[in-house]
Amino acid sequence: QRRGLRLSAPAAIQVTVRDALNQALDEELERDERVFLLGEEVAQYDGAYKISRGLWKKYGDKRVIDTPISEMGFAGIAVGAAMVWLRPVCEFMTFNFSMQAIDQVINSAAKTCYMSAGSIAVPIVFRGPNGASAGVAAQHSQCFAAWYGHCPGLKVVSPWSAEDAKGLLKASIRDDNPVVVLESELLYGVPFEMSEQAQSKEFVIPIGKAKIERQGTHVTLVAHSRPVGHCIEAAAVLSKEGVECEVINLRTIRPMDIETVEASVAKTNHLVTVEGGWPQFGVGAEICARIMEGPAFNYLDAPAVRVTGADVPMPYAKILEDNCIPQVKDIVFAVKKALNI
């Protein structure tokens, strides 16, 4: 206290997802000299999406490295560096382009620790925008959560908020396993409240732990990435009609925190999953299968319902694109279907 006034602690602040990711990279580059960033335009141009803004000027050519347009090449360099205990952060300009390097991600990074009986770890992060953007059509709008979540040896995270982005990226860089960080381009410029705790340089979010974003009693909504926000909006709409939704932000695709979902279903007796990816073999399909096979199945009062992207390559036209991506109205409709109202 000073002159009878109480000095307040730093309050929560508004931070965009872009700035949260930039903070995470900056703090981890500073914390551990083995960490380095590589990818297309990450250095002199400050990143295609400005995620690495200012890092090249601060850390130099050896820590922030511009690469040729060759995903298989620079992903392979990064995997090799990780095998000798450097900690590369490999940026794909979009995860659609990670298909060029999928042999390195799966056959080299994901499987080496197992195939070497644990003697070779691969502490690498593959990160970049994933899923639909705006007006970039079929070859730039796929969600790879189910693809990479399918593969043993990888950890896969999918942040929604600024706190998610910072805490999960820092945890991924510190992890001794290969981690795929699936970001949303459409969230980069969105501001979220960041708590005082999350502003700390030691703030991390454990990989493999979901978060309940909204408490509810009538139906469980499970989502990851941008659809989490749609679920919260849908919950607000439904609340006016007397339906209280519990919204779970999955955060991690692999390993999946099915226990949090089971506990919620045991309370609400209804389940709706929401994702931007395609329906067949999707994240929602996996959640529904796990619930059916586990103890929470006995608590369901109705079949689980999935809300997904349309089962087509993404159209270019905006009106068609909007109808291919889950909207708030689709979630409201699915909840009413699950509740039979």
Is 140 catalytic? The answer is yes
Cα angle 16, 20, 23 (rounded to 5 degrees) comes to 140
Annotated catalytic residue, options 71, 163, 213, 321? 71
Rounded-to-integer distance, Cα 297 and Cα 113, Å: 35
Active-site hit among 140, 218, 224, 230: 140
**Residue 165's closest CA among 216, 128, 133, 140?**
128
Q: Reduced to 3 states, what is the DSSP secondary structure of residue 340?
A: coil
- Cβ–Cβ < 8 Å for 27, 201: yes
Q: Distance (Å, rounded) from C-alpha 186 to C-alpha 228?
A: 13
- Report the candidate in 226, 211, 224, 173 with the shortest Cα–Cα distance to residue 23: 173
Report the Cα–Cα distance between both ends of the chain, in Å, rounded. Answer: 56
Does the annotation count 230 as an active-site position? no
Residue 288: both structure tokens together: 């529904």
Residues 6+ apart with CB under 8 A from 299: 265, 266, 269
Q: Report the catalytic residues.
A: 71, 140
